[in-house]
Structures are given as structure tokens and as C-alpha cells.
């Protein structure tokens, strides 16, 4: 496993070169890839230029967000799907083979079984396009009960349910984007992770939960830095991932307004230090 920075969730809006400059001194070992920015740089310069930016910074390439609006209308979906092979080929050349997206936990339009089939139909062509370039797709389940309230039809919001969706897609390269926050808010446990096979975990996000808030009242975009409150057993979470052999990026996604208001260097350093403390508590060095 390696500590990877995604600048967006901590309020950093800088070009890739500047993000790479901040990441190492802040304690990160990698940076998640902005695949569209990488594609633009590769077109303006070369793929070697993009790879060189990471190499010069001494950082590994993390995962990248699926650049297809598969939840939207058919025309938008088809347009994104058409451009995916080119971006997947770039990810492959850069050694970034982990791609992630989230699955909404409820719907106002489709009952569960219809929604399940709809998701298989939408996500299977995406997974096939990624597989052609050795990329894997991680699907994130959204755990908080508050994210489902007021919606007509519940959908998948647990680890087990998302694994079933991946199996139904049937391409062999679909697994989980596993987030400590969503495991906690879906009432999952560290023990549940021990039943996973390593190939089922594509990407990992890590964060803590606000104290004094019952689990079913937690709000998805109100989180804390790793280890900030100790509500989520992050040392146990990381140890469990190590035991199953996970070797990919672990990315903080705290959605902390306090951190987002910091200057970029301070935001990266504060987040990196928090993650490093949890890392050491898990015995990962």
C-alpha cells in the first residue's frame, strides 16, 4: 500500500506539476491521476513527459476517476464511453490501472431490480473498455442512511451488495472502491474485510467520522481527517487490507471545511501528517 494524494477533496486546485511538488514533502508516496489533465499534457508534450513529472517528484501514480458520465442521459453516456479507450490506454502507459466511480444508493425512478439491471447494462461496456487496457474498475458503495432518506427506492449501499453488482457485470475486472467512511456508515466492520480477496479491492479511500453523531445520522460530505476523532478504527482497517495483500493507493478524502480553507501547502501537509500517524499506528512504517 502507499499513501496517495488526491488534491480535490482537500480543496487544492493546482496544475499537476504543482500538486506533485507539494505531495512528497507532505508525506505522500503517490498522487492520484487527473486523467484528463494528463491527456492534455500528453498531447501538448508527450506521454513520457507526464511520466517524467511523477518520476522527477519520486512519486507513484495512483488511481483515476472514471471520466464517463454513466449516470446521465444516453447521449452523454455514449459520448463518454466513446472517449474512454483513449484515456484507458494512457492510464495503461502510465502504469495507472485502477479506475473508480461511485454508485448512488437510491433512486426516484427505478425500483431495485430494474435499477440493478440498468447498472449492469451501463457499467458492463465501461468495464469491457477498461479491460482492453488492463484497467480495473472500482465501484464505491455509499453508506450513510441520510443519503437514502427521502428517496423512493433504496439501492445498493453495502460492501456485499456492491460485490454482487460487480459479479453480475461479469467482466472479471470489477471490484470495490473501498472507503472507510462508507464501511462504517453502512454498519460494516473490519472483520468483514477479512473475507475479501485482494483482487476484489481496486482502490481505497480513508477518513474519520465526526464525534458525537450517531452512525445513522452521519452526513456524507461532513467527515474528518484520518485519525482526527478515532470514531472509525482506521488502524484495524489498514491492518486488514495489509493481511489480504492490498498493495494499491490509500487516499484521504476527509471533506473537511477546515482543511479546504487552508493554503495548498498547509492542506497537503495537514492531511499527509494525519494519514502518516494512522499509518504508523497500523504498523505500516
Distance between CA atoms of 55 and 236, rounded to whole angstroms?
32
Q: What is the pLDDT of residues 138-158, one digit of tens each?
A: 999 999 999 999 999 999 999
Q: Sort 191 into a burial class: Cβ within 10 Å, 0-12 / 13-18 / 19+.
A: exposed
Q: What are 64-101's pLDDT values in tens digits?
A: 999 999 999 999 999 999 999 999 999 999 999 999 99
Query: What is the number of domains present in the chain?
Result: 1
What per-residue confidence (pLDDT) applies to 153? 97
Contact by Cβ (8 Å): 115, 156: no
d(CA 97, CA 136): 6
In this prediction the pTM is: 0.96
Contact 173, 136 (CB under 8 A): yes
**Using CA atoms, how far apart are residues 156 and 140, in angstroms rounded to an integer?**
10
The string of pLDDT tens digits covering residues 254-282 is 999 999 999 999 999 999 999 999 999 99
Three-state SS at 169:
helix
Question: 285 pLDDT exceeds 90?
Answer: no
pLDDT of residue 126: 98
pLDDT digits (tens, 9 = 90+) for 126-143: 999 999 999 999 999 999
CA 117, distance to chain mean position in Å, is: 23
Q: Find the helix packing angle between 264-281 and 16-23, rounded to 10°.
A: 50
> What domain range includes position 104?
2-281
Banded pLDDT at 51 (limits 50, 70, 90):
very high
What does the DSSP assignment read for 108-145?
Answer: SS--HHHHHHHHHHHHHHHHHHHHTTT-EEEEEE---G
pLDDT 10s digits, 211-251? 999 999 999 999 999 999 999 999 999 999 999 999 999 99
Quote the radius of gyration of the chain (alpha carbons, Å). Answer: 18
Give the per-residue pLDDT at 259: 96
Return d(Cα 39, Cα 167) in angstroms, integer.
31
Report residue 165's pLDDT band, with 50, 70 and 90 as the boundaries. very high
Confidence at 6, pLDDT banded by 50, 70, 90: very high
- Residue 66 sits in a domain of what CATH number? 3.20.20.150
Task: Kindly report the average pLDDT of the chain as a whole number.
Answer: 97
* Strand 136-141 versus strand 2-5 pairing type: unpaired
Amino acid at each position: 500500500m502507499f499513501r496517495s494524494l488526491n488534491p480535490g477533496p482537500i480543496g487544492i486546485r493546482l496544475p499537476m506539476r504543482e500538486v506533485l511538488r507539494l505531495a512528497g514533502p507532505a508525506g505522500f508516496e503517490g498522487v492520484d491521476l487527473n486523467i484528463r489533465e494528463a491527456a492534455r499534457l500528453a498531447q501538448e508534450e508527450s506521454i513520457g513527459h507526464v511520466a517524467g513529472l511523477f518520476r522527477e517528484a519520486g512519486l507513484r501514480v495512483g488511481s483515476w476517476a472514471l471520466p464517463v458520465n454513466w449516470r446521465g442521459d444516453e447521449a452523454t453516456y455514449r459520448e463518454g464511453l466513446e472517449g474512454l479507450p483513449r484515456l484507458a490506454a494512457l492510464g495503461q502507459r502510465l502504469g495507472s490501472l485502477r479506475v473508480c466511480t461511485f454508485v448512488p444508493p437510491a433512486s426516484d425512478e427505478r425500483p431495485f431490480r430494474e435499477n440493478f439491471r440498468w447498472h449492469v447494462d451501463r457499467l458492463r461496456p465501461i468495464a469491457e473498455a477498461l479491460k482492453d487496457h488492463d484497467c480495473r474498475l472500482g465501484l464505491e458503495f455509499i453508506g450513510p442512511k441520510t443519503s437514502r432518506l427521502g428517496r423512493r427506492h433504496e439501492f445498493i449501499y453495502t460492501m456485499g451488495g456492491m460485490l454482487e453488482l460487480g459479479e453480475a457485470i461479469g467482466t472479471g475486472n470489477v471490484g470495490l472502491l473501498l472507503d472507510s467512511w462508507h464501511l462504517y456508515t453502512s454498519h460494516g466492520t473490519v472483520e468483514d474485510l477479512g473475507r475479501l480477496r485482494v483482487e476484489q479491492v481496486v482502490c481505497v479511500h480513508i477518513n474519520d467520522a465526526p464525534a458525537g453523531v450517531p452512525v445513522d445520522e452521519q452526513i456524507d460530505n461532513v467527515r474528518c481527517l484520518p485519525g482526527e476523532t478515532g470514531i472509525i478504527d482506521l488502524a484495524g482497517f489498514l491492518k486488514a487490507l495489509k493481511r489480504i495483500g492490498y498493495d494499491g493507493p490509500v487516499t484521504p478524502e476527509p471533506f473537511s471545511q477546515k482543511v479546504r480553507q487552508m493554503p495548498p501547502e498547509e492542506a497537503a501537509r495537514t492531511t499527509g501528517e494525519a494519514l502518516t500517524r494512522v499509518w504508523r499506528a497500523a504498523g505500516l512504517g
